[in-house]
Chains A and B, each alone.
Chain A
Amino acid sequence: MSDSVYAQLVGLFGGVLLLCAVLIVWRRSISAEVRLLAVQGGALAALVAVLGVREGSAELLVVAGIVLTLKVVVLPGMLSRAVAQHGAALREETPLINTTTSLLALSLLTILAFLVSRPLLVLGDDPAIAAVPVGIALVLYGFLVLATRRHAFSQLIGFLVLDNGIGTVAFLTAGGVPLVVELGASLDVLLVVLILQVLTARISTEFGDADLDDLTELRD
């Protein structure tokens, strides 16, 4: 793979990752957000594959396969089935801040991401390193979604955007973490999502809805 193709592919998939995250913040329909999450996972897997081909590392290609299965097939599949079960797909949710404000916040967070990723740029002038701010931006977007959405599924999506961001930084800076850690981390994320999904189901049977504004009994 020539240098320019490599740089372009890293830029392309980094761009798709960022675009999907922006669209997730913009859209309100939960089923649309799940589809976007699947696309984002695909972009992350493609990014890992590009890095793997570039470095000729079979391990990274295996990891790309894992990421593809987990983030494009398994997690979105689980989420969309749960959304369908709860009939939440039809419901538009009202975040704490309106769309204009959240898009404005996104642009500020993107600037912030470029500022805070400066210490990371010491790692070299490879196109992959230059794309690190994308990962940081994803982490910050994930926080935004977690902080401003009140529906249980939306918080779950925020958590997964955050996780994709951390994954992006990991692959771009270090070519991923050691395989055993990568496997453990993937398994953990899968189980956390599974647990949150079960809890969501229990919350909706108990409260009649999965709106987290109802969770106010425990306080001091």
Chain B
Amino acid sequence: MTVFVVLPVAFCLALAVCTAVPQLGRLRRLSGIAASAVVLVSGVVLVMAVLDGQTPTALHGQLRVDALSAFMLTVVGSVGLTATWGGLEPRSAPRTTASYPTLVSLFLGAMSLAVLADNMGVLWVAVEATTIATAFLVGHHRNRRSLEAAWKYVVLASVGVAIAFFGIVLLYAATLSAEEPTLSWSLLDATRPPLDPSLVRVAAALAILGFATKAGLAPMHSWLPDAHSQAPAPVSGLMSGVLLSVAFYAILRVQAIAVPVIGPELMRGMLVTAGLLSLAVAAALILQQRDLKRMLAYSSIEHMGLLALAAAAGGVLAVSAALLHVLGHGLAKSSTFVVSGRILATEGTTSMADIRGLLTRRPGVAVPFLAGMVALLGLPPFSLFFSEVAIVVAGVQRGLTWVMAVAVALMLVLFASLARHSAALMFGEDPAAGVPVDGAAHGPRLPLVIALGATAVIGFVAGPFSTVLARAADVLGATP
């Protein structure tokens, strides 16, 4: 079993090295898919192992897989596969720049390391490494706008993550009172050393603040719309579905360490503030949004805000719903980002005012886009419907009634504006009437069908799936 713990990280890093060789054209083209597939397979195998009652470890316990890690690895793999396979350029397309496949492999390797490590410090190093891997991916097009986005992204994300490091340092200082200072959460959870509450309070607040920056929660979200809108479409999908989710995972781990020491109040206050603010920012800015990819980026802020509220509520129901939401949002958002890339390729613009009547003109891209938007709007049968309802119900059960009431109101505003924008894109008056219908899909159709199909089905699949989610919530010490 150990081999599957090391494999995702090792394979991605090896691939990153191999793809640096320009002669291996075919490997370079398919490397992202290979990396994601290996991560996904390892994730599924590890989920099986965890369901079997095992806790696989590797490298002297540096890597340790509990239910939460295994589930998150599956998310990284499946979202990665959707984004890289769906974003596969046709063979005739101009050759990608030298570093692109290497950086994507590095990104996937770092994300796998982040969810597999049993150490806050290593988790931090991996999250920061993704900033490095994605910096040039955001600035890939090398024009003014993408350079601006890349600069803002690197400065804000590095500073944010530096704050998280500050928090982790203080957490380590707090454990000096224990027998053996450690940053391993399994050890902290097993031994429950008497940590100093005032120190842990500062540490947890800083760590949450830092990782919230990376998770794109308001008010530290300003890098996100720029970076998502300027990056190549598959990279936007990876950032939205994988990077934000892993940053949220880091928040959950910090919370699980801090809550037994200082109680839930501080974290709940911070997360409720960030969650509601994110929903409000998204609601305010989607209404007037003119750019397709920026609209999707703000929708990611909305969903991260909802996840923050779920983490604030706590408890098995809220946490398992949040994890289901992470998976559903990741798959649906990476699919829509990939399609937005195809729309950009066929229409030559992402300005929503210039894209009308897509459904009649280009059904090949319009149908998957519409399906993805319906999923993101939280309509059944897609799993986001169930997870959103469960999060709201869990919040009310845990005494956050007013918070959830405000959240639902904001979500209705968001629903209305997203639906309005999508309807205009799909059915709006066609400016270029008479242009021949183009039914081509302009890229592989299968990954989008699988991803959106999975999003539609996972809400109904009970049994092993809900067991994994419940076990993962249990890892975080969630009490019913």
Contact = CB atoms under 8 A, between A and B. Distances in A.
Contacts of B48: none
Given A192-B132, A195-B136, A220-B288, A119 B162 contact: no
B170 A120 contact: yes
Nearest to A165: B166
A191 B152 contact: no
Nearest to B158: A192
A105 interface: no
A170 interface: yes
B289 interface: yes
B250 interface: no
B154 A195 contact: yes
A193 B121 CA distance: 20
A104 interface: no
A59 interface: no
B422 to A, nearest CB: 19
Contact of B121 (A178, A191, A215): A178
Contact of A195 (B122, B135, B285): B135
Interface size band for B: 35 or more
Q: State the main secondary structure of chain B at its contact with A.
A: helix
Interface residues of A, number: 42
Interface string A156-172: 00010011001001100
Given A139-B166, A188-B125, A199-B154, A174 B173 contact: yes
Interface stretch (B50-58, B195-203, B408-416, B446-454): B195-203
B172 interface: yes
B312 interface: no
14 contacts: A120-B199, A152-B151, A159-B162, A162-B162, A170-B172, A177-B169, A178-B119, A188-B132, A192-B154, A192-B158, A215-B151, A216-B148, A217-B144, A218-B152
Given A123-B173, A199-B139, A218-B226, 12 more contacts: A159-B158, A163-B162, A170-B172, A174-B169, A180-B121, A187-B125, A188-B129, A195-B135, A212-B151, A216-B148, A218-B152, A220-B225
Interface of A: 116, 119-120, 122-123, 139, 143, 146, 152, 155, 159, 162-163, 166, 169-170, 173-174, 177-178, 180-181, 184-185, 187-188, 191-192, 195-196, 198-199, 202-203, 206-207, 212, 215-218, 220
